[in-house]
Structure 1
Amino acid sequence: MIKHFIISALAGLSITALAETEKPNILFIFADDLSYETIGAFGILDIDTPHLDSMVEGGTTFTHAYNMGAYNGAVCVASRAMLNTGRFVWGTYQHDTGPKMKEEVKSGRMWSQLMSKAGYRTYMTGKWHVKAKPADIFDVAKNDRPGMPKDFWSKGSADGTKPKHYGYFRPVDEEDYKNGWKPWDTSNGGFWEGGKHWSEVVADDALDFIADAKEHKDPFFMYIAFNASHDPRQAPKEYIDRYPLDRIKLPDNYVSKYKYQDEIGCGKSLRDAALAPFPRTEFAVKVHRQEYFALITHMDDQIGRILQALEESGKADNTYIVFTADHGLAVGRHGLIGKQNMYDHSVRVPFMVVGPNVEPGAENPAPIYLQDIMPTALQLADAPIPEYVEFKSLLPLLKDKQAQHYNSVYGAYKNQQRMIQQGDWKYITYPTCGGERLYNMKNDPFEKSDLSANPEYAAKMKELRSDLLALSTDLNDPLDYNDPVTSWKKAAPTKSKKAAH
């Protein structure tokens, strides 16, 4: 394990001074479907992530990093479009079409293009899922991948040995698991397509990029994006074997069915939700969590290779490393499997920063959005932050934990879910069916006790409803809460504005 790397580098030099002298390198490592709780150092889950743990030890962790939401079932599409354009969710909705994204590229507005203008050599590998070609906006792009590896929704066999939905609604029971899909079976394709596991390919490419960067004087910006830990959750067998089912604990907020699953778009018609059987069973949830943890640990080992190569390159002392993910994942919490919900396991992600003069082993509880890394990188690069970039740089928070950032966190999923988190409180509303949820996140961090029907909190409910409506207006949310179906059909996102929330 690589411990405490970079933490003593340039110890007497402030972040601002560094930006004004020698431009730092930036290594951005991005995971998929990775909940905030999946880092072993956080002590929430029994999971092995020694290399990510080293980032927690060696840098500052933003403990409350969120994704703002999504306008379609592929939550990563919105997350990544926000990340690369710098716009909030509804401004991104307006621009997230092929022609408009091409215009973004033509105008040089994408994150990597702005880094290039600042004098950086830019690299990219792995999951992209943005309506632009990486080769058009990075100096070097290799093995850019689609949103997910091929799944097994429509596979089957004439003799019935593999059912039509092979890889879904599984495992029904132990016998079904014994005879069914296996995550280490390379004949299933998916992460194994091409002969080598995609996470290993990403690490291989990153090592090539680091070697190439040694030959150039320009600072580098690397965008290293794993498809892991997205389904199909495939990993070598030795990683599955590290997580026998008796090591896997059932989530304490496990239920067999979420009350509003169909009304909020998380029923059988949602691809992610259909990975496990309905109703959920303890056995199925444990198997899915086993495969989830194994894929994460396998990715962590690949990240270890990247960190080691960076250290050996001689570039580490002047490199900021950021690790985060596009959103989280339920994997059995609340009776849910996917990420299309407003619970912390799905909207909150790990977010660690290691680099020159970043405080080691520190935590910052300020609410942030993961996309804040885009303007942060620009500021580190001593590059101007364009007016259209709506997210905020984290440098003030890295220098002063008490710095002001966002007053509240907003979340959205299509026209079916809205959320505001403010202080210790989270309020969720389901506009199309009228359902509501209220949680005290300080007393109930795993959101097990819904307080919305408790008359004691009627005033708090009213306050948060009002604040959510105001924030929705501020963010140009196209939803009319009084007519969520018609307003969504007619929605035509307009130019969003900056919001001081």
Structure 2
Amino acid sequence: MTRHPNLVVVLVDQLRRHALGFAGDPNVRTPNIDRLAAEGAWFDAACSSYPACVPFRFSLMTGEYAHSRNVLGIGHRLSPAERTLGEAVREQGYATAYVGKWHLYSSYGLTGGLTLSQACRTPVPRSHRRGFDAWRGFELRNDFHDTWYFRDDEATPRRLEGYQTHGLFDLAETYIADERPRDRPFFLLLSVEAPHPPFTAPAERVEAIAQRGPLRTRPNVDVGAIRFAPPEWYGPGNPGGAADRSDIKTVHAAFEPNMRGYYAMIEEIDDRMGSLMRTLETQGLAENTVVLFLSDHGELGGSHGLLGKAEPWEESVAIPLIAWGAGIAKGARCATPLATEDLFATLVGLAGGSPEPGPGRRDFAPWLRGDAPPPDREAVLLEFVAEARPGRGYFDRTWRGVRTARHKYVTLGDRTGARPWLLFDLEADPYELRNLVDDAGSAELAARMHGLLVAVLDETEDDYALAPAFGHPARRAVAEAS
């Protein structure tokens, strides 16, 4: 592998690991992504540490855990003092470029914050997006037919022509073909909003999904038992139309049309991944470029009675992560859990940099190059740090957990100390249908997992409070919340 390969990162939004053809989803056709997985390296246990858009992007850009800055579920503004991934890779001699959704600047989602339309048309100043030489970005939009972006430091936004996924891939391919410097390697990060709701996709793609017949849901989905849907899931822009929040049956009725849109959006991404790969080939770059394909978090899609994200179940935290290209071992699979924070160190490592120090962070670049086994690690931290919006999940209580290659353990609580909530054997129970947390026969496992959570909290410098559990003493808990 060349020491300084070009790096292309394609980050999509709300794609769970399971919703791809090669991962076994019968509802979707993804031949181009399937090819990447077959010809590259695939992570079986890649996790979104904090499964929401803003916290994931914070940790990707800084390599830091969200709890280290008390990052909210939405509305965090990246400090100009943070050293970014763009800067760290640029220090290795790279030209850097960013295309698409940023979501680390505006106050959208908070009281008095910008609307989606305003956020898309408000520039992100250079001080808050440091490290990227070429900028073709916007804060966020969530409207796939009305997206505006800013080119470099222009004060006036440009309208993105056509369907957003197509337009953003076009910008990325134009950079690769016409705009990248020829005297040094480049790092391009393309961030598209699909398949985030509203689940709108080109009509012919949705029709193709519908022609295949009724969707086949996961074993942990009972549409009639869905009890929660975030507002973006039942808004009027979705294929299922506007649902009545006070009547959950209207959400149930919208489920299949919306999920067809979800899968259609994924197939559009796959189609454009094929185009991107052809651009690399026609430009003579395929032999010295590494492509990473990943998502910021998953989509519950009705599993466990829930829609959306921000939950500790696999459909929310499990993300696809594929590495393909120069020096990447063909068909390699990694069972070692990988966290969001590892991506910073791994990308810098792929760029030829030295391991980046940081609590809890691991560099998987040597494994991807075939130079070393995966880093020594038993578990990664899963977390929900803070929610500023009353009425949303985890406003009053938050959660922390750990995931190993086989097991998951999660606690839920407040400053009086989070208490055991979930325990799953993912090998025996991949759909998380049997919670073992109160199972007498699993007490030894629960005690070991609780101790592992304490160790990971200590390693990542998280002051989260835990109540006594399974023979372990309380950790930083107070007698009562105050």
Normalization by structure 2: what TM-score? 0.78
Q: Deviations over 1:10-65 (max 9, x none)?
A: xxxxx4xx21xxx2111111111010012211223331111111101211111110
Map of 2:154 onto structure 1: none
After superposition, what is the alpha-carbon deviation per residue over 1:425-444, rounded to whole angstroms, capped at 9, x for unaligned? 21222225856222110011
For residues 226 and 389 of structure 1, the distance between their equivalents in structure 2, rounded to whole angstroms, comes to 29
2:125 matches 1:147: no
Q: Which shifted more, 23-32 or 446-455?
A: 446-455
In the other structure, the counterpart of 1:231 is 197
Structure 1: gaps (5+ residues): 1-14, 151-182, 262-266, 491-501
Contact 2:411 2:419 in 1 (8 A): yes
Provide the rounded CA distance (Å) in 1 between the counterparts of 2:481 and 2:99: 36
Matches within 5 A, 1:115-130: 115-130=89-104
User: Number of matched residues?
Assistant: 419
Tell whether 2:440 aligns with 1:455.
yes
Query: Are 1:425 and 2:399 counterparts?
Result: no
Residue matched to 2:206: 240
Question: Which contiguous aligned blocks of 4+ residues in structure 1 show a shift greater than 6 angstroms?
Answer: 94-100, 190-193, 483-490
- Give yes or no for contact 2:6–2:187 (8 Å, CA) kept in 1: yes
Identity of paired residues, percent? Answer: 23
CA distance in 2, matches of 1:407, 1:243: 40
Q: Partner of 1:246: helix, strand, or coil?
A: coil
Aligned residues of 1:364 and 1:401 also touching (Cα < 8 A): no
1:176 aligns to what? none
Alignment of 1:326-337 (within 5 A): 326-337=296-307
Q: 277-286 or 82-91: which moved more? A: 277-286
Higher RCO (C-alpha under 8 Å, 6+ residues apart): 1
Secondary structure, counterpart of 1:427 in structure 2: strand
Q: 1:210 aligns with which of 176, 181, 186?
A: 176
Report what 2:156 is aligned to.
none
Question: Judging changes above 3 Å, is the alpha-carbon distance between structure 1 residues 98 and 460 closer, same or farther for their aligned structure 2 residues?
Answer: closer
Out of 49, 57, 61, the residue aligned to residue 84 of structure 1 is 61
Alpha-carbon spacing, 1:485–1:456, altered in 2? closer, same or farther (3 Å): closer
* Shift in alpha-carbon separation, 1:422–1:115, aligned structure 2, 3 A: closer
Name the structure 1 match of 2:428: 443
Secondary structure of the equivalent of 1:375?
helix
Contact 1:78 1:92 in 2 (8 A): no
Question: Aligned to 2:184, what secondary structure does the other structure show?
Answer: coil
Give CA-to-partner distance per residue, 1:160-196, whole Å, 9 cap, x none: xxxxxxxxxxxxxxxxxxxxxxx9xx6xx57997551
Q: For residue 393 of structure 1, what is the aligned residue in structure 2? A: 363
Cα deviations by residue, 1:222-257 (Å, 9 ceiling, x for unpaired): 001111111111111011011117241132101358
Establish whether residue 57 from structure 1 lines up as the match of residue 42 from structure 2: no
Residues 91 and 212 from structure 1, CA distance in 2 versus in 1: closer, same or farther, beyond 3 angstroms? Answer: farther
Q: CA deviation at 1:328?
A: 0.9
Between Structure 1 and Structure 2, the one with more helix by share is: 1
Structure 2 CA distance for partners of 1:202 and 1:449, relative to 1, 3 Å:
same
Q: Which runs of 5+ in 2 are unaligned?
A: 106-123, 150-158, 236-242, 386-396, 468-474
Q: Which segment drifts farther, 452-461 or 301-310? A: 452-461
Deviations 1:93-133 (A, max 9, x none): 379997861122xxxx2111122222111111111112364
Matches within 5 A, 1:168-207: 189=146, 194-207=160-173
> In the TM superposition, what is the alpha-carbon distance from 1:386 to its structure 2 partner?
4.1
| CA offsets 1:474-493 (integer angstroms, 9 cap, x no match) | 32334323499989998xxx
Distance in 1 between residues matched to 2:372 and 2:351, nearest whole Å? 22
Distance in 1 separating the partners of 2:25 and 2:75: 39
Shift of 1:274: 5.6
1:250 equivalent to 2:250? Answer no
| Contact 1:26–1:321 (8 Å) recurs in 2 | yes
1:69/1:486 Cα in 2 relative to 1: closer, same or farther (>3 Å)?
Answer: farther
Q: Give the Cα separation in 2 of the matches to 1:207 and 1:404.
A: 34
Q: CA deviation at 1:206?
A: 0.8
Aligned counterpart for 2:351 among listed residues 361, 376, 381: 381
Counterparts of 1:487 and 1:145, CA distance in 2: 45
Quickly say closer, same or farther: Cα 1:44–1:97, change in 2 above 3 A: closer
Confirm or deny that 1:298 pairs with 2:272. Answer: no
Does the Cα contact within 8 Å between 2:54 and 2:75 map onto a contact in 1? no
Instruction: Decide whether the 8 Å contact of 1:480 with 1:487 is kept in 2.
Output: no
Distance 1:462 1:315 in 2: 51
Between stretches 379-388 and 302-311, larger displacement belongs to 379-388
Equivalent in 300, 309, 313 of residue 339 of structure 1: 309
- Aligned counterparts of 1:90 and 1:448: Cα–Cα separation in 2: 29
1:406-429 superposed Cα distances (whole Å, 9 cap, x missing partner) = 211221113422222234221222
Does the C-alpha gap of structure 1 residues 232 and 489 become closer, same or farther in structure 2, counting only changes over 3 Å?
Answer: farther
Secondary structure of the corresponding residue to residue 311 of structure 1: helix
Alpha-carbon distance in 2 for matches of 1:435, 1:136: 41
Is 1:474 paired with 2:459? yes
SS of 1:328's partner is: coil
Q: Which amino acid aligns with 1:426?
A: K
Provide the C-alpha distance between the structure 1 equivalents of 2:233 and 2:380, rounded to a whole number of angstroms: 25
C-alpha root-mean-square deviation of aligned residues, in Å?
Answer: 3.2
Distance (whole Å) between structure 1 residues aligned to residue 78 and residue 260 of structure 2: 41
Whether the 8 Å CA contact 1:82–1:88 is kept in 2: the answer is yes
Mapping of 1:17-28 within 5 angstroms?
18-19=2-3, 23-28=4-9
